Amino acid sequence: MAKIVVDVMLKPEILDPQGQAISAALPRLGFSFAKSVRQGKRFEIEIEGEPTAAQLDEVAKASETLLANPVIENFSVRVEN
């Protein structure tokens, strides 16, 4: 069984008020390392066996159709062992 991971992030030019709120909360807790924070989504998709190139293409298509909104978000697909 393999795990395909799709990461979805707001495009850099789209305002991320949730990330900003997290960024503002960190120093209040004594964490001073963050210059900025952006929040995204991670999808873990399990499949039987090792993924084929065709399956990965399908996942990319599904990501573009449903998992991400290409108007405001970028996504990346990778296989995790």
Partner 1 sequence: MKVGVVTFPGSLDDHDAARAVRLAGADSVALWHADADLHGVDAVILPGGFSYGDYLRCGAISRFAPVMTSIIEEANNGMPVLGICNGFQVLCESHLLPGALTRNQGLHFLCTDQLLRIENIETAWTSAFADGAEIVIPLKNGEGSYQCDDATLEMLEKDGRIIARYLGQDPNGSRNRIAGISNANGNVVGLMPHPEHAIDPLTGPSADGLAFFTSVLTQMVGK
Per CB under 8 A, contacts with partner 1 among 42-81 are: 66-67, 69, 71-72
Query: How far, CA to CA in Å, does 42 sit from each of 9, 35, 56, 67?
Result: 9, 22, 16, 10
User: Does residue 18 bind partner 1 (CB under 8 A)?
Assistant: yes
User: Does residue 29 bind partner 1 (CB under 8 A)?
Assistant: no
Q: Whole-angstrom distance between the N-terminal and C-terminal Cα of the chain?
A: 9
Residue 27: CB minimum distance to partner 1, A: 18
Residue 56: CB minimum distance to partner 1, A: 21
